[in-house]
């Protein structure tokens, strides 16, 4: 599956849809699932799209399989059936999926490519995670690999493969090596982006279809802006 958008209805960038799953290229600022802000989540927008497209009476089933942080963009998959949700949940839990991200950072990492291993401890009061070199109480191991794929005039573009799926993992681990993501005030960048987002994009998701068992690769284009357009 390429980055071709098959529908923009209801402001959705739909990358793929079949009887069991629907895959969206999430925009900066969208929340995947409802939270305390009370803002309309992407899951509700997708439900409305399905209800209208198929003229479905009553409530529409839609399962949230995974999440992306509000200021990030990229590939998000939802389950349209309970069978798909159960199998996708198991697939993500057992790390049978491959997730690749792009991040724009200002500082040069110490190496062109590397594997980062930390212990992340979440602070629920301020909704952050801190990366520690050694294990601390209530921390969880976190690992990712990165490589520099583009050098811009003032920034570096990293391609990141996640090995674990911790809260704010990429943001916290890049901060720990002195490379906060552009726009990410919460994790050490010096100024915000005009749209309130950060330059972190879920570029690619590879997984086995929960029903057909076919291997799918979903690729999402990053948002249109001066930096992403240079990549």
Q: β-strand 14-17 against 113-123: which pairing, if any?
A: unpaired
To the query of whether residue 114 is one of the catalytic residues in this protein, the response is no
Rounded Cα distance, 117 and 106, in Å: 21
Radius of gyration of the chain (CA): 18
Rounded Cα distance, 207 and 77, in Å: 10
**Options 69, 161, 195, 225, the catalytic residue:** 69
Q: Quick one: CA dihedral 228, 186, 174, 153, positive or negative?
A: positive
Three-state DSSP string of 53-109: HCCCCCCCCCEECCCCCCCCEEEEEEECCHHHHHHHHHHHHCCCCEEEEEEEECCCC
Contact 182, 227 (CB under 8 A): yes
Instruction: Compute CA distances 107 → 47, 83, 110, 152, whole Å.
Output: 41, 44, 9, 11
- 43 in helix, strand or coil? helix
Burial 216-230 (b: 16+ CB within 10 A, else e): bebbbbbbeeebbee
As annotated, the active-site residues are 69
């Amino acid at each position: 599956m390429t980055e071709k958008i098959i529908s923009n209805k209801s402001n959705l960038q739909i990358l793929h849809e079949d009887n069991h799953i629907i895959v969206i290229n999430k925009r900066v600022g969208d929340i995947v699932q409802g939270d305390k802000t009370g803002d309309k989540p992407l899951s509700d927008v997708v439900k409305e799209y399905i209800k209208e497209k198929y003229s479905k009476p009553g409530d529409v089933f839609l399962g949230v399989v995974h999440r992306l942080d509000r200021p990030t963009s990229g590939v998000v998959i939802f389950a349209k059936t309970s069978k798909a949700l159960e199998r996708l949940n198991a697939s993500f839990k057992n790390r049978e999926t491959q997730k690749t991200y792009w991040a724009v950072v200002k500082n040069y990492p110490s190496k062109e490519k590397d594997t980062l291993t930390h212990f992340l401890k979440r602070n629920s009061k301020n909704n952050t995670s801190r990366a520690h070199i050694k294990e601390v109480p209530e921390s969880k191991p976190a690992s990712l690999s990165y490589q520099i794929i583009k050098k811009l005039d003032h920034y570096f573009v990293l391609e990141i493969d996640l090995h674990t799926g911790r809260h704010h993992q990429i943001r916290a681990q890049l901060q720990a090596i002195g490379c906060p993501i552009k726009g990410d005030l919460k994790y050490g960048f010096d100024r915000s982006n005009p749209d309130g987002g950060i330059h972190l994009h879920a570029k690619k998701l590879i997984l086995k279809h929960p029903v057909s068992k076919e291997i799918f690769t979903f690729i999402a284009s990053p948002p249109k802006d001066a930096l992403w357009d240079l990549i």
